[in-house]
Chains A and B, each alone.
Chain A
Amino acid sequence: MIARIIMIFYYLLCLFFVFITLKNLIEEKTSRDRVILYFLILIPFILRLLRFK
């Protein structure tokens, strides 16, 4: 039961990181390097949220 609650927290954590990364991505105005970096950071979090990997 505790393990399941911790697992749910991990998914919420993923969701949080997706949210702040997208927020930073949208607000980024100059650096193209950072845009690419934000997209790369998003990949594992999205794969986990979609339960692909």
Chain B
Amino acid sequence: MSRTTARFKIITALIFLIFLIAGGWPLKKHRDFPVEIVCGPGVTDIKKLSDFFPALKGSVADTYVFVLEGKEPGGKALIMGNTHANEPEGLLSVAIMIENAVVEKGTLYLIPFFNRSASLNTRPGEGYPLYFSITTPWGKKTFRMGNRDASPLDQWPDPDIYIHYPEKQMLSYLDIRNTNRTWPGRKNGLPMEQVTYAAMELLRQEKVDLAIDLHGAETMFPVTNCIVAPEKSMRIATLASLTVKSMEGFENHLESSPEKFRGLSHREIGDYSETLPFLLEAPIPFLDQPTGPKTEKLFLDGQDEFLLSLAKRKKLFVPYDESGWPLEKRVGQHLSVSLEIIRQYSRKTPARAIIIKNVPRYAEVVRNGVGYYFHNPAEAEMDKVIKH
């Protein structure tokens, strides 16, 4: 080998190393970045999914379940955020509940990072930011922006075709890492099937009455800005939808859970347990394909000129103007609709009522902003701060 070739190899190796470190290190930092949640006065116990299904213990997929138990016995509700970690409105809504809610009657189970592996995953190929920050009265609070599916670092390889268990429906190979396609889960299945199996065990063992799965969807997708519910949950969903429209002034239409599309929380929870499932979709302009750059600003304010142009041509499924669809509206509507579903259920079955205080509703979140409801981890007692 000539001296020139050797020199070329060394220089190329150095350039390669620079690219590897510049590209790889931010991804490593993102995976190790802890999101802090301050336990509020209502948190009575902190469990993990592995408490309901021990096989998950010690795995990346194991995640916290915050329990808020009232003094008076009543009904039980589970609320899940970050089933899809690129739709963090659910995580923010659940985190606001953990930090502020006080349950007077019944029990609330809150899972902020339902698909924890997806929250450690990134989507740099589509230009997604790795983080987003929210302004609070005490400074910026930063969250990881995750991906829709679990990280291949935690579950790999994917099958050529994903055959859903137990219904045997053929689904996209990618959906084996999507925790809204693996319900009701499988005891000896892949990690994401075990996550949903663990959640089903939670619902069955604790006899949970309501399960609310918080999501977001594109403004160009018809199933957005809505409550998806199966037949058994439809009455309560209808009352909640009508009430938020008349009392709080925002639209949240109803979508029927399709019987023949398997693996979704709003279908399988209802079919495989006594629990009434609901899935809430908030419109997220950031998720739409024909937008400008996928910036943190677009995620926060939801303002995009291309979507505005499409809205004028009536191509969107939600009303859209220069004000965009900001995070406050998305989180506010998740909180209000969740509270309304619980309220309607409590009215219908007083013996299993769940009474929750100190959770802001739509108008308050729009007025004060999302950050207003987060507490400063630096000022909280150390054992009250959960890093996940």
Contact = CB atoms under 8 A, between A and B. Distances in A.
Interface in A1-53: 1, 3, 6-7, 10, 25, 28-30, 32, 35-36, 39, 42-43, 46-48, 50-53
A6 B1 CA distance: 40
Given A25-B9, A35-B9, A7 B157 contact: yes
Instruction: Give the interface SS of chain B, mostly helix, strand, loop or mixed.
Output: helix
Contacts of A25: 9
Given A3-B190, A7-B157, A52-B27, A35 B8 contact: yes
A25 B10 CA distance: 11
B28 to A, nearest CB: 5
B1 A39 contact: no
Contacts of B19: 43
A42 B19 CA distance: 12
Interface of A: 1, 3, 6-7, 10, 25, 28-30, 32, 35-36, 39, 42-43, 46-48, 50-53
Contacts of B2: 29
Contact of B27 (A3, A29, A53): A53
B12 A39 contact: yes
A53 B24 contact: yes
Nearest to B1: A29
A1 B19 CA distance: 36
Contacts of B8: 32, 35
A40 to B, nearest CB: 8
A42 B16 contact: yes
A30 B5 contact: yes
Instruction: Give the interface SS of chain A, mostly helix, strand, loop or mixed.
Output: helix
B5 A43 contact: no
Contact of A35 (B12, B20, B23, B156): B12
B20 A46 contact: yes
A51 B153 contact: yes
B122 interface: yes
A39 B5 CA distance: 15
Nearest to B29: A52
Contacts of B31: 51-52
B170 interface: no
Given A39-B12, A53-B122, A29 B5 contact: yes
Contacts of A6: 157
A42 B16 CA distance: 9
A17 B9 CA distance: 19
B13 interface: yes
A25 B12 CA distance: 11
